[in-house]
Chains A and B, each alone.
Chain A
Amino acid sequence: MRFADSIFAGRFGIATQDLDRYLAAALAYGGDYADLYFEYLLTSSIGIDESIVKSASQGVSMGVGVRVIAGERTGYAYSDDLSPKKILKAANVAAHIASGPGKIGKFDLHEGVRHNLYPVLTAPTETALADRVELVKRADHAARAYDPRVFQVQAAYADNLRHVLVVTSEGVLTVDRQPLARLSVHALARRNGETPQQGHSGGGGRVDLDFFLKDKPPEHFAREAAREAIAMLDAAEAPAGEMTVVLGPGWPGILLHEAVGHGLEADFNRKGVSAFSGRIGQKVAGELCTVVDDGTIHSRRGSLNVDDEGHPTGRNVLIENGILRGYLQDKLSSTLMGSASTGSGRRESYAHIPMPRMTNTFMLAGQSDPEEIVRSVPKGLYCANFGGGQVDITNGNFVFSASESYLIEDGKITRPVRDASLIGNGPEALKYVSMVGHDLRLDEGIGICGKAGQSVPVGLGIPTVKIDRMTVGGTA
């Protein structure tokens, strides 16, 4: 899509001369760099509970964020009103971060390079609501039909369509149209009068509605949520202490997101507050480990044609055969560190200052047969699914919570165990990776990453891996 065809040029009548004027106002007191982030966001959500579609809503929000960088300083202001008067006011507020003579008001704006990773003609948000409501009804039905012990089902469908326009004082002018959709299912199962157990599943991406009609129908997620809830009915207490842990493929890639991903975001490293600061070129993982962050995978939840600073996203190698290779860079940190942006500048919305973030983070496949990995463990824990995780980037400690895991006894997966957190230390944990499966799988597309109060959609992935030593936080 080109600027002239965008909603900003069309519906809001913004012309390139206007953009020049706003940038000039932003740099009226000097400053090294300025950018404008225009956003027009349509969202819808539909929820079913007790087989009743109880809640649904749709809405629109819009605004523009103006950022000015002067050395290490950032000035930021935003407006939810796209009138020239309000935009100029925001530019003027942000401009005051600098205190010098103004810059020339001509920026030679040209449309930048970008990928075309989600060529969705009709975004889910633009389809009939009646078609989308069927998704949650089908999910509800399928989860209940899975097993009579399933007694509560909630399904939620949400989509959005984000139109963005990024303009920088370095001349970049980029528009993008970013569709996103997800369906999630939560099921509760109970045997007789016992304590209920829960199961979760969900997925989506930057896809059209056909994804949920053909590729991954609601029944797929519903059965998975119901299966997990039923499987947990037999769960015993989880073990406690250090042991061998095998992670199954897919969502357990959250290990990488917490253990290394956040610690490699350049802002923390520029400030020297990350456990990975100054460790480029050092061994931080087993030789079998190669970890990449790739924002360019077709239709994935974490993918973007351009990042939120107008820079094309990329495939960035973070760890190569165990050696730390690089950080995730945005505009500010890359400038201050004398390197290039890796297309990792992201923000939650026009009201937020961009910062280095992950996109889709995963470990490349290895050689081992997943079954052979499990067979090699006399006693340990097999983790099939996780909830969320968190990291303290300074000391490197991270946790992530297993929601479906099993004991491994004499090389066989045996009993399911109750929820337990796993804890480790980022620069150390991956050194104990001793086997990597050939079964790399990316997650289904429901990840949300939070940092400094900002949430962005992300992807994860990992093949089956064996970690010789990790602390499991059970009670037994």
Chain B
Amino acid sequence: MENHLLELANDIVRKAMAGGATDAECTIGEGDEFSAEVRMRQIESLKEAGSRGMGLRILMGQRTGSSYTSDLSGEGIERLVRSAFEIADITTEDPHAGLPDAGELGAIEGDLKLYSMGIENLDPERNIELAKCAEAAAFAADPRISNSDGASFESGTSRHVFANSRGFSGEYRTSSCSLSASPVARDGDSMERDYWFTMARDPEGLQPAQEVGRIAAHRALRRLHPVKVETQKVPVVFEPRTARSLLDSIFDAVHGMSIYRQESFLAGKLGEKVAGEIVTVIDDATIPGLFGTSPFDDEGVPSRRTPVIERGVLKSYLLNTYAARKLGMKTTGNASRGLAGNAGIGYGNFFLEAGVETPDRIIAGISNGFFVTSLMGFGVNIVTGDYSRGATGLWIRDGELAFPVSEVTIAGNLRDMLLSVEAVGSDLEFCGALAAPTLKIGEMTVGGK
């Protein structure tokens, strides 16, 4: 049963070519999911299912057409092919449209450890127990943990299949599982919720359930009785889980599509200093076992490692074939797509390299500042770099975490923020495809009272 989807993808490419397409590519995705949620020591929900779908993209010269379906029957496939041709009729000639050159296609060799047999035949009872155990550990941590928004265990597998008319055909499987807990702390009229989660390719790779519950409880407890501080400009420290969101913004800013449209504050800045000397940002989809790893990208180009910012200097954008052609460059193997439409751009494992200072030392060097533990909202403008988000965290007073703060904003401009990264922590850890260690930004505006 393994190979019939690959066979099917090749068949559909052949059908499209026989129908008159000048090029074609077919993506098939298949997946299974399981989730168990518990709350207040009881099972709240169990979910289990599998699904699949396929997408076709054709070129008629320099016009493209795209279609998708979850109907893999003969009739469904006929309709899929017909739909793509109908669409190609209404799109415009685009001189840069096209598949990668045959010489660019391929996959990296070796076991990337994306799939673990341990995910098969998981015992649902054991998974439910893990979630219950995480929640129980949170309750046990402190009597003020008196309520819970639940704990959950999730697992899934997926198969990615891709074939095109230039001779590429490949597939890979992935597995994942995760465990999370979301306890609620209450003390007087203050109520706060936080969470912690762990994610791995194999259940053995998960953090112990007790630890997940304990950390989640600690995070919720330290938010109790927050203060809204006065509006002021201070150094801001992002802990790893919030620093990751800055990496997300950097990705948006080096996204090839935003570059050629000049809708990024980093457009046209290749070779220039865009960040502090201690900042090095890498995209690497070749690291075995991680969540951003794959043998080939969604256009069939081998995955690779791309230094994006090296010691503060912008070295590369992240590109698919289309953005590369627009910019007169080569693809960086970052094509990313769902079933429908043209390939977009995605990251592999996108991370900021660890520095030398421990988080404690970074905090110890600050007399008055803000340690950010959660961020809210979407106030990041990649065109201008303007940055303004809701924040929660702990106030730093004389080198120590002094009291919780909430209902404030942090604001600045990403351009200045990157240039004023003054410290990079040694605590880089991967939990998902984006990762960053603790980061200290020289100065931002905290908006409060």
Counting chain B CB atoms within 10 Å of each CB, which of A79, A238, A241, A353 scores highest?
A: A241
Q: How far is the CA of A57 from the CA of B85 in the complex (A)?
A: 10
By beta carbon, the residue of chain B nearest A394 is B193
> What is the 8 Å Cβ interface bit string for chain B, positions 145-175, against chain A (1 contact, 0 not)?
0010100000000000000000000000000
B353 at the interface (CB under 8 A from A): no
Q: How far is the CA of A98 from the CA of B390 in the complex (A)?
A: 43
By beta carbon, the residue of chain B nearest A388 is B378
> What is the 8 Å Cβ interface bit string for chain B, positions 24-65, against chain A (1 contact, 0 not)?
000000000000000100111111110111010000000011
Check B51–A351 contact: CB distance below 8 A: yes
Check A74–B412 contact: CB distance below 8 A: no
Interface SS majority for chain B:
strand
Check B45–A63 contact: CB distance below 8 A: no
A73 to chain B: which residues have CB within 8 Å? 42-46
Quick one: which of B91, B93, B262, B412 contacts A56, CB cutoff 8 A? B91
Q: Which B425-449 residues have C-beta < 8 A from chain A?
A: 445, 447-449
| Minimal beta-carbon separation of A164 from chain B (angstroms) | 16
A60 to chain B: which residues have CB within 8 Å? 68-71, 76, 79
Chain A: number of interface residues, binned into ranges: 35 or more
Q: How far is the CA of A238 from the CA of B91 in the complex (A)?
A: 41
Given known A188-B261, A419-B386, A473-B388, contact A57–B340 (CB-CB < 8 A): yes
A77 at the interface (CB under 8 A from B): yes
Quick one: which of B46, B86, B386 contacts A129, CB cutoff 8 A? B86
Check A420–B71 contact: CB distance below 8 A: no
Check B262–A188 contact: CB distance below 8 A: yes
Interface SS majority for chain A:
strand
Given known A61-B69, A72-B42, contact A474–B447 (CB-CB < 8 A): yes
Given known A54-B97, A58-B67, A152-B262, contact A97–B147 (CB-CB < 8 A): no
Given known A273-B193, A388-B377, A474-B388, contact A55–B409 (CB-CB < 8 A): no
By beta carbon, the residue of chain A nearest B407 is A397
Check B377–A421 contact: CB distance below 8 A: yes
By beta carbon, the residue of chain B nearest A240 is B447
Check A59–B390 contact: CB distance below 8 A: no
Quick one: which of B147, B388, B449 contacts A401, CB cutoff 8 A? B388
A413 at the interface (CB under 8 A from B): no
Q: Which A61-91 residues have C-beta < 8 A from chain B?
A: 61-63, 72-80, 90
B190 to chain A: which residues have CB within 8 Å? 395
A22 at the interface (CB under 8 A from B): no
Q: How far is the CA of A152 from the CA of B262 in the complex (A)?
A: 8
Given known A419-B381, A423-B407, contact A152–B263 (CB-CB < 8 A): yes
Quick one: which of A53, A196, A242 contacts B383, CB cutoff 8 A? A196
Check B92–A399 contact: CB distance below 8 A: no
Given known A271-B147, A353-B47, A423-B447, contact A54–B64 (CB-CB < 8 A): yes
Q: How far is the CA of A389 from the CA of B48 in the complex (A)?
A: 32
A192 to chain B: which residues have CB within 8 Å? none
B313 to chain A: which residues have CB within 8 Å? none
Quick one: which of A78, A197, A242, A399 contacts B51, CB cutoff 8 A? A78
**Number of A-B pairs, beta carbon distance below 8 Å:** 261
B87 to chain A: which residues have CB within 8 Å? 56-58, 129
> What is the 8 Å Cβ interface bit string for chain B, positions 66-91, against chain A (1 contact, 0 not)?
11111100001001000100110111
Check A271–B262 contact: CB distance below 8 A: no
Given known A59-B68, A421-B389, A471-B408, contact A399–B376 (CB-CB < 8 A): yes
Quick one: which of A53, A152, A275, A471 contacts B90, CB cutoff 8 A? A53
Check A76–B71 contact: CB distance below 8 A: no
Quick one: which of B83, B94, B379, B411 contacts A59, CB cutoff 8 A? B83
Chain B: number of interface residues, binned into ranges: 35 or more
Counting chain A CB atoms within 10 Å of each CB, which of B52, B64, B191, B449 scores highest?
A: B191
Given known A77-B48, A130-B90, A388-B378, contact A62–B445 (CB-CB < 8 A): no
A62 to chain B: which residues have CB within 8 Å? 70-71
Given known A45-B341, A73-B45, contact A397–B392 (CB-CB < 8 A): yes
A272 at the interface (CB under 8 A from B): yes
By beta carbon, the residue of chain A nearest B385 is A195
Given known A129-B89, A420-B388, contact A473–B411 (CB-CB < 8 A): yes
Check A57–B51 contact: CB distance below 8 A: no
Given known A55-B342, A273-B184, A401-B379, contact A77–B49 (CB-CB < 8 A): yes
A436 at the interface (CB under 8 A from B): no
Q: How far is the CA of A335 from the CA of B47 in the complex (A)?
A: 21
Check A63–B51 contact: CB distance below 8 A: yes
Q: How far is the CA of A399 from the CA of B226 in the complex (A)?
A: 17
B51 to chain A: which residues have CB within 8 Å? 63, 78-80, 351
| Minimal beta-carbon separation of B365 from chain A (angstroms) | 24
Check B70–A473 contact: CB distance below 8 A: no
| Minimal beta-carbon separation of A28 from chain B (angstroms) | 15
Q: A76-B48, A129-B90, A152-B261 are known contacts; what are 5 more A-B pairs with Cβ within 8 Å?
A: A55-B341, A61-B69, A387-B378, A418-B386, A420-B411
Query: Can you name 10 A-B pairs with beta carbons within 8 Å?
Result: A50-B261, A55-B66, A60-B76, A61-B69, A73-B44, A188-B383, A387-B379, A420-B388, A421-B379, A423-B407
Q: Which 4 A-B pairs have the closest CB atoms?
A: A473-B409, A399-B390, A399-B377, A59-B68
